[in-house]
A and B are shown apart, each in its own frame.
Chain A
Amino acid sequence: MNNTYFNALFFIGLPYVSVFTFFLMTIVRYRTHGFTYSSLSSQFLENRQHFWALMPFHYGILTVLGMHILAFLVPRQVAWWSSVPLRLWIMEIGMLAAGLLTLVGLVAAMVRRRANHKIAVVTTASDWVILALLLIQVLTGLGVAMMHPWGSSWFALAVTPYLYSVATLNPNLAVVSVMPWMVKWHVINAFLVIGFFPFTRLVHILVAPNPYLWRRPQVVRWYRRPAAAGR
C-alpha cells in the first residue's frame, strides 16, 4: 500500500472519524437510551474470578491511561521527570508492571466470560469486540514498551506533537509517519477503541460517580418542591 495514502487514512481520517463518532454517539445514546448506561456488572453472577480479573484490569489500565493522558497534557513535565536515568527507570518499570497487570486482568476477564456459562449468557458480541480491541491495545502497548523502550521519554517529543496537531485540526504526520510499525499499530488501535466506545459497555466510564464524593449522604426528591431537590 502507498505509504502516504496509508498514513493519511489511518492518522488523519481514522482519528477524526473516531473522535466524531465518539462524541456524537455517546451523546445520542445518552439522550435516547440513557437507561443503557450501566457498568453491566456481572459480579452478582460470579464473585471470585471477578475479583482476580476486574481488580488488576482496572487498576492497571487506569494507571497506564492516566500516564498517557498526563504525557499528552503536560509533555514537558513528563520529559523533565524522565531526564534523570533513575527516574526514567522507575517510570518505565512502573508502567510496564501496570501494563502487565492490565494484561493479566484482561485475559482473566476474557477466560471468565468464555468459561463461566452464567457470564457467557450476559456477554454480547459488542463485549467481545471491545475485549479483543483492548487486548490488541495492551499487547501492542507492551510490545512498544519492550521493543522500543524509554517511551516515557520519547512519547512527549514524538507522539504528543502529533496528537496536538490532530486536536488543533492541523494534522502533522512528520513524526508519526516514521514511527516503528508497533507504535503505529498501537496508535491506530487506540482510535478504533475510541470509535467503538459508544457502542460498548465502556460508556460506564463517562458516568463514573464523582458527585458521590461531595454530596450529602441522604437524597430526598420532592415533587412539589423541585427547587429544594436533594434535601
Chain B
Amino acid sequence: MSELALTPSQTVGPYLSLGLTWPTGYLVVPEDAPGAITITGVVRDGTGAVVPDGMVETWQADAEGRFDHADDPRGASGSGFHGFGRSSTDAEGRYRIVTVKPGALGDGQAPHIDVSVFARGLLDRVVSRIYFPDEVEANAADPLLSSLPPERAATLVAEQVGPAELRWDVRLRGEGETVFLAV
C-alpha cells in the first residue's frame, strides 16, 4: 500500500479572482437549455455580513441521475454533461449557478448538489449540499437529511422563488448556520 503524505489546504485569500474566475463558470448548462434552473443565494459571515470575496462551486449528476465519469460503478454516461459550476460572490455576497435539477441516483438519496465554498478566512473549503423543496418524500428518506435535527436539515433545502429559480443561502457561522459536511 501507499502512502504519500497529503498536501495541506490553505486559504484562497482575497485575490482568488486572479486565478479562478471563469466568465461562464456559472453555466453548468446554457441559460436556454431545456429544464434549466437558476440557483442563487447570498453567503454571509458570523455577523450576518455578506461575503463579497468568496466563491461557490457545485458538482452534481445530470437530470437522469448519471455522471459522465468512469469511477461511477454504473459506468460513465457518455453524455458529456460536465456537472460543474463555479460562481464568485459579488459585492452583495451573491452567487448564481445555472444548471438542471439532478435526477435521483437510485441509491436511496434524494436529488442533491454537492457544494464547496471558498473564501478569505476559510483555511479549507467548506462543503455542503443543496436539496430540492419539491422532493418532500425523497428528502424525508435521505440518509443525510434524516440524520439531522429538522431545523438543521432545513439549511440544506433550497427555496423555490420562481418557476425556474431556487434560492439557497450560506451562513458560514452563527444564527442559522448552514450544515457543513466532512467528506
User: Bound pair: A and B?
Assistant: no
Binding site for A on B (CB under 8 A): none
